[in-house]
Every structure is written in structure tokens, then in C-alpha cells.
Structure 1
């Protein structure tokens, strides 16, 4: 019976490689970062990103989060979240971008690299951001 189960398990794992990216990730960048990636359907994933820089004696802290859905493949993808405060034609870094864009990429060493592209200042303070390197909490070292 085991002889038949192993090939079926291998087919199930390799038939949907995108699900291997699902999980909770933690790491650092400008502060402490975390990401939750949950498979929704086919290549669509729900993504939640959090950043925090703890307050120090004379420096204010910073925190923020953003969530949305993105299309991911085995190498990654881009998260686009509409900026609710967007004002067309504004020169303000908080109001002038229609979307918060964050690039997500998975490397061969098992890391999730996230890089804030544009328009995310409304989702976090000026002293932190969504750029850094994270590792799946369930990864085996």
C-alpha cells in the first residue's frame, strides 16, 4: 500500500508548487518584518505584511501593515494595494501614488525577499518600511 501512496504524494506536491510558498515569515530590514502568505486559488494568494521599529530612548518607533491579494509563481510576484488617500496630481509622497507596490521574491535558499517599490508611506511611518529578508517560520535549518 505504501508503494502506491508515495507516488501519489509526490504528484500532489509537484502538481501545485505555488502552495510551497504559503506560510508565516519573519525577518528584518529597516525593522522587524513579518509576512503571512495564504493560498486562495490557483496562483492567487492573500498577503499580509507588518513592520515595526521599536521606540528607543530618543527615537520614536514606527509600525505599519498592508494586506491584499497577489498572483505569485515559484519565484514571486508583486503586491498592489490601492492607496485610499490617493489624490491625482499631488506631489506628496503619501498622496501622489495610486498604489502601494511591494515586490516579493523567493530565492533558492528559502528566503522571502520583499522590496517596497512605491506608494506605501500611507501604510507605515517614515522610519520603517516593507523592505527586507524573511524566512518561513516552519523552515528547517
Structure 2
């Protein structure tokens, strides 16, 4: 009887992480770059395919380059392995012609390369949020990738 209980408890403990790992729809967690400039993405699951995203970037100042940094928060709908985060650009100048630098929206594409790797590509209108020397481009890895 005791052996059966121990076996059942062991199976339950081992099965839960396996089920969680197989849930490709759950992309929540912290993703960080490895080396070079710092890029961090925090995804919080809201419901269904809806997530709250926070992106932060920073680059250290050196003797030859100025440092920079910035962040961005907004909602994103993740469908399959990709998504586009689009938020109103607070730096948009209505009186100037719309361009990649003066865009109504800051847009960042998300592409999940695998279960733990996320590639970000800044599309337009985000320099207001991070300055001229930084960007929201790069590859980040989920904090659970080494488990």
C-alpha cells in the first residue's frame, strides 16, 4: 500500500513539469540576452493568446561609445510562433512627414525560434523609447532554458 502511494506521488510530481513544458501556448516568463548589450523581455500571460510585454535594453558606456537604455510596455497577441507589439509612439510629431523614425506606432516583431528562444526585431518608431544608440533588436533566451 505504501509503495503504491509513493509510486503515485512520484508520478504526479514528475508529470506536472512535463505537461508544463509541452504547453507551447504558454510563453510567459523572463527572457534575457547572453553577452553584449542587455536585452530583457518579460511576458505575463493574461488570457488566451494575450500577454503583457515589457522590453528593456541597455548598453554600457565605454571610452568610445555613449551608453544608452530604454524600455517599452504594452500588450501583445501571440499567434503560433510570432507576434507584433504595436504601441502609440509618444515621440510622434504630427506636423512632420511620417517615416520609419517618425512613425505613429512603435512596432516590435516577436518570433519564437523554439520553446526557449525569442528573436526581437524593431520595425519602426521606437527610438523615442531608447535613444539613437540602442534598439530592441536581438535574441533572448527564457530563464528556464537551462533547467
Q: TM-score, normalised by structure 1?
A: 0.82
**Aligned match for 1:77, one of 83, 87, 90:** 83
Q: Which has the larger radius of gyration?
A: 2
Greater RCO structure (CA 8 Å; 6+ sep): 1
Cα shift at 1:75: 0.2
Q: TM-score, normalised by structure 2?
A: 0.78
Between the two proteins, the alignment pairs up a number of residues equal to 139
The 5-angstrom pairing of residues 1-141 of structure 1 reads: 2=8, 13=20, 17-19=24-26, 21-27=27-33, 31-88=37-94, 90-91=96-97, 96-108=102-114, 110-140=116-146
Cα shift at 1:5: 5.7
Give 3-state SS (helix, strand or coil) of 1:139's partner.
Answer: helix
Structure 2 residue ranges without an equivalent (≥5): none
**Preserved CA contact (<8 Å) 2:107 2:122:** yes
